[in-house]
Structure 1
Amino acid sequence: MAKPNTGHQSWWSGQSRRKKVLLLLTILIIILGLALGLGLGLTIGREGGEEEEEQPPTTIPPGTNGTTWQPAVNSTWQIALLHPLDLSDGVESLRPDVGIYDIDLFTNPPSTIQALHRAGKRVICYFSAGSYEDFRPDSSQFKKDDLGKELDGWPGERWLNLRSETVWKIIEARMRMAREKGCDAVDPDNVDGYQNDNGVSLTQADSERFMLRLSSLASNLSMSIGLKNAADLIPSLISRTQFSVNEQCVQFSECSSFSPYISAGKPVFHIEYPHNAPQIASNDTFCRDSGQGEGSELFSTVLKDMDLDGYVQFCNGQTANTTLSL
C-alpha cells in the first residue's frame, strides 16, 4: 500500500539543485583545508623537534652491480706494482693481454681503472694492510706505538699492530678509496706478520680477526678480497675470500696448502721469482711441472722480477706463453 502524502518535505529535498551543489563544494573545501592544515602542522613539528631518521642510500657503489665479483679458476692476470700502468699508448699496448690486472692502489688514478674496465679487464687494487710504508701519503696518520720491527729486506717498512683501532681506521679508509676509484677487488698484503719477528706481539688469531673484519667491509663495499700468503688462515677464511694471492709456493714446496682454493672454485694468483730461485729460471717446462698438490696445475702463475714490474713469463694453465725480457 502506498504511503499517504502528508505534505511535509525534508530540508535537503526542499533546496534547489544550485544550492545543493554550492553546499557540497563548501563542505569539500572545508575538508581539504583541514587536511592541509594538519599536514603543515606535522611538518613544522618535525622541523622544530626530533628529525626523521636518515634512511640508507638506495644506490649501489659506482662501477658495480651490487654484487661481489668472483674471478674464475685459471684466470689470466698480471701484477705490476713498482710503477703506475702506462696507458699513454692505450690499453692495447699493455702486454701480455690478460683479463685481470693487480695494480697499486695509490699510484694509479681512477682514469686508469676506468680505461681497463672499458677494455673488458678486471682490476685488483694492491695495498699493504699489515705494514707501515714511510712513502705512502697517509703514513703520518699511524701512531708510533702501532709500529713494530722492520720487514726483513724492505727498509722503511714496518709491521703494524693489527689490534689497533688507529690502524684499522687507516686501512678502512684505504678500502673505501679502492671502492671510490672503482676497483673490483683488493689485494691486502702483509697480513702474515704473525709468521715473522714483528715486534708488536702479533698472533695468528690477530691476523684472522683482522682479515675477517676486512672481508666483511669488502662485502659491504661490493668488492672481492683475496688472502695473501698466510696459509694457516685458509681454513677460516676460504669461505670469506674470493681468491688467494701466493708468492713462492714452488720455491718453498708448499703449493698443496693453497690448492683448497682451486677445489672451492676460486683462483690462486701465484707468483714465483726466478732470479731468487735459479732452479725455476732454468726449468723450461716450469709451467707444466709446477703443480705440487691436487689442483695446483690450475694456479694462475706468473714468473716475475722481485719488484713485480719486470715481466718474465706468463703461465696459462699447463702451457707457457709470452716470454719477455726484463
Structure 2
Amino acid sequence: MTRACRPLLCALLAVLLIAGCSGGPPSPSPAPSRWQPRPGTPWQWQLDGRADPASADVPVYDIDGFENSADDVERLHRDGRKVICYINAGAWESFRPDQAGFPAAVRGAPNGWHGERWLDIRRLDVLRPLMEKRFDMCREKGFDAVEPDLLDAYLNDTGFPLTAGHQLAYNRMIARIAHDRGLSVGLKNDLPQIPELVRDFDFAVNEECAQYGECGRLTPFVRAGKAVFHVEYALATGDFCAQARRLGLSSMRKRLELDGWRQPC
C-alpha cells in the first residue's frame, strides 16, 4: 500500500509538477517602453494658449502643460499625435497656480521674462516635490513626454552661486522624475553638458543654435537615435535649413511668442 505524503512534501511535488508541465513559472511582463522620438521627426511648438490642432499637420505637438487640459491632449492623440508637456523647471513663475508653493528663499534674480525668477537648483530637497507635482500633472493629463525649460541656469546670472555640477545633479533629477512616471523627457538647451546628459534624456529641444553657430554640438543626440527639436527666431529658413537637414535636426522658424505660426525646413 502506498503511503500518503506529508502535506508540505505534497505541496512541493504539486508545484514541481505544474512547473514541469508548463515549462517553468511565467515570465514577468516587460515594462512598457517610453516614447522615443527619432531624428528628423516634424513637430509643432505652441505655448501661447491652448493648442490649435489645425495649425500644423505633424506627428508631435509641444504645448503648455498648465494651459491645456486632458481633453486637449486626447484630441491630439485621436489625430495620431504624440504630445509633449511644457513646464518651467528652472524659474519660478508668478502666474502659475502652484506659485505659492515655492519658498521665497529659492527665488532668485529675474530672468528677463515678466513674472519669472530663477530658482536655486541647489535645493533639490525643496524643488524635487514641487517638480514631481508638475510631472504628475503631465502624466495625469495623458502627455507622452515633458519639456522642462531653463535647464541651463548655471550659465546665467541667477543670484545664486551655481556651478556646472549643480546643474548636472538637478538635470539628472529632472530626468529621473520623468522616467519614474513613464514619461520621455527632453534636454532644453544646455549645450555644454550634452556629452554628460545625452544618456539621461530622450530627446533635445534647442533654440537658436544656428544663429550662434552651435548646432554641431547637438549631434550626440542624433547619433544616439534621439530627436533634436530645434527652432530659430531671427534667421530665415534659407539661412539654416540646409545645415539642419544635414545634421538630422527637426527644425523650423517660429515667432518668439510661440503661437501657431511656423515655417518648417
TM-score interval, normalised by the smaller of the two chains: 0.7 to 0.9
* Structure 2 equivalent of residue 176 of structure 1: 136
* Structure 1 equivalent of residue 23 of structure 2: none
Determine whether 1:83 maps to 2:49. Answer: yes
* Structure 1 equivalent of residue 251 of structure 2: 301
- Return the letter of the residue paired with 1:243: F
Determine whether 1:157 maps to 2:116. Answer: yes
| Structure-2 separation of matches of 1:170 and 1:222 | 18
Query: TM-score, normalization: structure 1?
Result: 0.69
Alignment root-mean-square deviation, CA? 1.9
Question: 1:124-181 CA distances to partner (integer Å, 9 max, x unpaired)?
Answer: 00010010111000001111110110013x1211100112222221111101111111
Which 5+ residue runs of structure 2 have no aligned equivalent? 1-27
TM-superposed CA distance for 1:221, in Å, is: 0.8
Stretches of 4+ aligned residues off by more than 6 angstroms? none
Larger CA deviation: 131-140 vs 158-167: 158-167
For residue 230 of structure 1, the aligned residue among 176, 186, 190 is 190
CA contact (8 A) 1:147 1:200 kept: no
| Structure-2 separation of matches of 1:157 and 1:208 | 22
| Structure-1 separation of matches of 2:239 and 2:162 | 40
Determine whether 1:132 maps to 2:82. Answer: no
| Structure-2 separation of matches of 1:118 and 1:167 | 34
* Structure 2 equivalent of residue 146 of structure 1: 106
CA contact (8 A) 1:162 1:168 kept: no
1:287 partner SS: helix
- Return the letter of the residue paired with 2:47: L
Determine whether 1:107 maps to 2:67. Answer: yes
The number of residues matched between the two structures is 237
- Return the letter of the residue paired with 2:207: E
TM-superposed CA distance for 1:210, in Å, is: 1.1
| Structure-2 separation of matches of 1:134 and 1:211 | 22
* Structure 1 equivalent of residue 38 of structure 2: 72
TM-superposed CA distance for 1:284, in Å, is: 3.6
CA contact (8 A) 1:305 1:311 kept: yes
- Larger Cα Rg: Structure 1 or Structure 2? 1
| Structure-2 separation of matches of 1:234 and 1:77 | 21
Give % identity.
40
2:73 partner SS: helix
| Structure-2 separation of matches of 1:184 and 1:141 | 26
CA contact (8 A) 1:82 1:308 kept: yes
| Structure-2 separation of matches of 1:66 and 1:310 | 32
TM-superposed CA distance for 1:312, in Å, is: 3.5
Query: TM-score, normalization: structure 2?
Result: 0.85
Question: 1:229-257 CA distances to partner (integer Å, 9 max, x unpaired)?
Answer: 00122111101111000000001111111
| Structure-1 separation of matches of 2:244 and 2:138 | 33
CA contact (8 A) 2:55 2:260 kept: no
Which 5+ residue runs of structure 1 have no aligned equivalent? 1-57, 275-279, 316-326
C-alpha distance 242-215 of structure 1, shift in aligned 2 (>3 A): same
- Return the letter of the residue paired with 1:237: L
